[in-house]
Structure 1
Amino acid sequence: MSSVQILHQVQLFGQAVLFGCCMLLVYDLIRIFRRVAAHGVVWIAVEDMFFWVLSAFVLFQFLYQEDDGKVRGFVILAMFLGMLLYGRLFSRGVVKGGTFLLQRLCGGARHFFRGIMKPVKIMVCPVGKCAQCLRRICKKRNRYVKKRLKKLWKAVKMGLYKL
């Protein structure tokens, strides 16, 4: 083998290690999403199946472009080595940190929208939920939301003018 071919194989090995790291990083993003949003067993199975099928297609495309579609044992080994390195060194921190950040972002958004959509105290219709009562509820809710959005818009405008 010439040195150019050996250099190409070394580059292929390094790219396969990076590919394994990236695959596990994407799976960690799925794990973060699962921790923030509750998932059932079926949904988790569908996500996993979709991830692994997509990973197989991406791996095939990688091998096809880089080594003319030749499946080499050392490339698969390098990919697993990359997954192992990423899993041992970074995975736990990425999942914990990502979960913490996403929970904080979702909590802030939830708090913001809860303030806007604060329940309006209404009188309950003795007959039940008739159409007139629903119209009255919607009008009160719309006025309340409109007032809250106006206050928010004024605060944003004042903040922009101060810049």
Structure 2
Amino acid sequence: MSGLGIETAAFLKAFFSGMTVYGIYVCIRIFRKIVPHNGVVVSIEDFIYWLFTGFYLFLKIFDASQGTIRWYFVAGTAMGVLFLSAVLSKTGKMCRKIHRKRQGKGGKGVD
């Protein structure tokens, strides 16, 4: 594979790694809304998340570019996070809009 092909593959790995890392954090946020947490537990969860994220991204960087941090890996990770954030934001807005329509004008459910 040519140099550009290797860099493109590394960028795509970084893009999906960013999506994975952000997706896991979204799941943690949803879990926190379902099960109330105090500040200490939130801090412990965040510490474990960032510890996992650091190891995960280190392994992905090592796999993609033999351990050297390249600009396209950092850009790909950031773009993956932003892409998934935008997709989930649009999805959430559509779900809220559908929910409001189902409830009707008076706040009562539509039969």
TM-score by length of 1: 0.53
Q: Give 1:52's match in structure 2, choosing from 44, 50, 53.
A: 50
| Structure 2 partner of 1:24 | 22
Aligned CA distance change for structure 1 residues 40 and 92 (closer, same or farther; 3 Å): farther
Contact 1:25 1:91 in 2 (8 A): no
Residues 29-108 of structure 1: matches in 2 within 5 Å? 29-90=27-88, 93=91
- Verify the 8 A CA contact 1:20 1:82 in the aligned structure 2: yes
Matched to 2:77, the amino acid is M
In the superposition, relative to structure 1, how do residues 51 and 74 fare at CA in structure 2: closer, same or farther (>3 Å)? same
Native 8 Å contact 1:20 1:79 kept in 2: yes
What CA distance in whole angstroms lies between the structure 1 residues aligned with 2:78 and 2:47? Answer: 19
Question: In 2, distance between residues paired with 1:19 and 1:58?
Answer: 8
Q: Does residue 11 of the first structure (1) align with residue 15 of the second (2)?
A: no
RMSD: 1.8
Q: Any gaps of 5 or more consecutive residues in structure 2?
A: 96-111
Distance 1:39 1:91 in 2: 24
Give the CA deviation at 1:93.
3.9
Which protein has the larger Cα radius of gyration, Structure 1 or Structure 2?
1
Instruction: Write out aligned runs for 1:109-124 (5 A).
Output: none
- Higher relative CO (CA 8 A, sep ≥ 6), structure 1 or 2? 2
Aligned residue for 2:108?
none
Deviations 1:11-69 (A, max 9, x none): 11011111101111111111111011010111111111110111010111111122110
CA deviation digits over 1:114-155, x for unaligned, max 9?
Answer: xxxxxxxxxxxxxxxxxxxxxxxxxxxxxxxxxxxxxxxxxx
Please state whether the residue corresponding to 1:38 is helix, strand or coil.
coil
Number of aligned residue pairs? 93
Deviation at 1:92, TM superposition (A): 6.7
